[in-house]
Amino acid sequence: MNKRILISGASIAGLTLAHWLARHGFEPTVVEHAPAPRSGGNGVDVRGNAIEVTERMGILPRIRALATDVHGMKFVDATGRAVARIDTRDPASVEIMRGDLVALLHEVTDAEILFGDSVLGLEQDDDGVTVTFEHAPARRFDLVVGADGMHSNIRRLAFDPEERFIRFKDHYFAFADTDASLGENRWVTMFNTPGKMTGIYRSGNHAQAKAYFMFRSAPLRYDHRDVAEHRRLISEAFGGESSWRTRELLDAALADPDLYFDALGQVRMDSWSNGRVTLVGDAAWCASPASGAGAELALVGAYLLAGELAAADGGHRVAFARYDAARRPLVDAKQRIGPNVRLMVPKTEGGRCVRDVVARLPLLRTLGAMERRTPLPEYGLSGGGGRRS
Ligand SMILES: Cc1cc2nc3c(=O)[nH]c(=O)nc-3n(C[C@H](O)[C@H](O)[C@H](O)COP(=O)(O)OP(=O)(O)OC[C@H]3O[C@@H](n4cnc5c(N)ncnc54)[C@H](O)[C@@H]3O)c2cc1C
């Protein structure tokens, strides 16, 4: 039986997978290149089947206790006057700060975690995978899972360079810490100029607030790991803007050592597995922050992958094929982000006026409630031989 499983990435997908693999009797090891769980990010939504996944992990009450209590999105003009509000509250969904969710997942995961390290090489044969690390000595594993985000290292090593899989969605975005007094409590406030959005995310239950930037652009050449480059790019995009709170928010972003900047991109792959290696979360199917579904897809995907491995007694070929088939429909649906992007960043002044009218309609509030749900499979917890029901 394939028992020893290496997971690259200790975030939402990787920690959830390690938790469920351990409960099914596998021996997961996680390698994370950061020295500790990464705490950054805005609120993320736990909704749909992800609610049941976290309930079965025993953390749903704590997620609810830490919920952000954000009421919705508010669009403002240059004077700060609200021109439209969309109430996004949904009783079937809980929003939590990404860092709080990662900390909770870390707490309930019983697995060896190698912080401050990364996989250098993978060599597969009929019986397993020899893995070399940047720091730790080389080791054998039965299976390897890439849960290391949109710029996945494992995907690059076991499949192809990321250019083959990442579809650029014409925008870049950034999040950074900022002064909470700049935003209205419980609202994500957004200000637009054509092709640009500056915003502030302020939760009801947290003192802190996040500056939020998005801008439309042709593809830019830069090193996605270089924070100095990120600063330069958002300065170039927003440095000439002085309306609303843009200057103060930009100053805060440039001063934040944990500024998070990336291309709005999606990962598209025909198959998420190659032999003994598979992918989960953003590494496999990143739908982008504009989907609002990254955490949901990661939590449910990791649960299903662990469950299918248990149901197949560790048989990776059967398990990976079932996991792939079970995931595709929801991933395909969540990757349709066009309407969300047009809502947040209208391309033109005319588009913004139309958006403001549409945002006042009650229709948008009911769209979430129309989503179809499929039942979440139960997998018996019988020490490695879980049964599917
Ligand atoms: C710091 C941070 C802030 C974020 N903020 C937001 C946000 O505000 N809103 C939003 O919608 N989404 C945000 N995201 C993305 C969001 O977490 C994901 O879309 C989603 O939750 C799926 O999570 P994931 O576990 O698949 O990937 P991610 O959360 O991206 O996690 C990938 C993990 O892999 C690790 N990793 C990367 N490369 C390597 C390597 N070579 N070796 C080992 N480990 C590696 C990373 O450090 C990270 O811990 C953020 C991600 C990060 C890392």
Per-residue pLDDT of the chain (389 residues; tens, 9 = 90+): 899 999 999 999 999 999 999 999 999 999 999 999 998 788 899 999 999 999 999 999 999 999 998 999 999 999 999 999 999 888 889 999 999 999 999 999 999 999 999 999 999 999 999 999 999 999 999 999 999 999 999 999 999 999 999 999 999 999 999 988 888 999 999 999 999 999 999 987 777 799 999 999 999 999 988 999 999 999 999 999 999 999 999 999 999 998 999 999 999 999 999 999 999 999 999 999 999 899 999 999 999 999 999 999 999 999 999 999 999 999 999 999 998 999 999 999 999 999 999 888 876 555 555 565 678 999 977 544 445 55
Instruction: Give the closest residue (by CA) to ligand 1 atom 13.
Output: 41
Q: Is 157 among the domain residues?
A: yes
Ligand 1 atom with minimal separation from the 286 CA: 19
Give the total number of structural domains in the chain: 1
Adjacent-strand bridge partners of 144: 6, 277
Q: Could you tell which of 11, 54, 173, 341 is best to mutate to test the pocket of ligand 1, judged by most ligand atoms within 8 Å of the CB?
A: 11
User: In this structure, are strands 187-193 and 139-141 parallel, antiparallel, or unpaired?
Assistant: unpaired
> Ligand 1, closest atom to CA 34?
47
Residue 376 lies in a domain: no
Q: Do the beta carbons of residue 283 and residue 13 sit within 8 Å?
A: yes
How many Å lie between the centroid of ligand 1 and the Cα of residue 349? 33
For residues 139 and 131, is the Cβ–Cβ distance under 8 A? Answer: yes
Residues in the chain: 389
Answer yes or no: is 204 within a domain. Answer: no
pLDDT of residue 383: 47
Looking at residue 369, its pLDDT comes to 52
State residue 39's pLDDT score: 85
The reply to whether 132 falls in a domain is yes
In a domain, 297, yes or no: yes
Q: Is 326 within the bounds of a domain?
A: yes
Q: Cα(318) to centroid of ligand 1, in Å? A: 28
Helix (H, G, I), strand (E, B) or coil at 340: helix
Q: What is the pLDDT of residue 368?
A: 52
Q: Please write down the HEC assignment for all residues of 111-172.
A: CEEEECCCEEEEEECCCCEEEEECCCCCEEECEEEECCCCCCHHHHHHCCCHHHCEEEEEEE
Residues 6+ apart with CB under 8 A from 313: 1, 384, 385
Domain that holds residue 311: 4-70+94-166+266-336
Minimal-distance CA residue to ligand 1 atom 27: 149
Residue 381 falls within a domain, yes or no? no
Residue 264 CA, ligand 1 centroid: distance in Å: 14
User: Could you tell me if residue 303 is inside a domain?
Assistant: yes
Distance between Cα 101 and ligand 1 center (Å): 12
Question: Could you tell me the distance, in angstroms and rounded to a whole number, from the CA of residue 74 to the centre of ligand 1?
Answer: 26
CA atoms of 55 and 285, how far apart (whole Å): 24
- Phi and psi dihedrals of 311, rounded to 5? -65, -30
- Cα of 148 to ligand 1 centre, how many Å? 7
pLDDT given for residue 256 in this prediction: 93
**pLDDT at residue 364 in the model:** 58
Instruction: Please tell me the residue having the least CA distance from ligand 1 atom 30.
Output: 149
Q: Are residues 249 and 200 in contact, defined by beta-carbon separation less than 8 angstroms?
A: yes
Query: 201 Cβ partners below 8 Å, 6+ apart?
Result: 42, 43, 70, 175, 183, 188, 209, 210, 212
CATH number, domain of 316, equals: 3.50.50.60
Closest to 303 (Cα-Cα) out of 17, 14, 12? 17
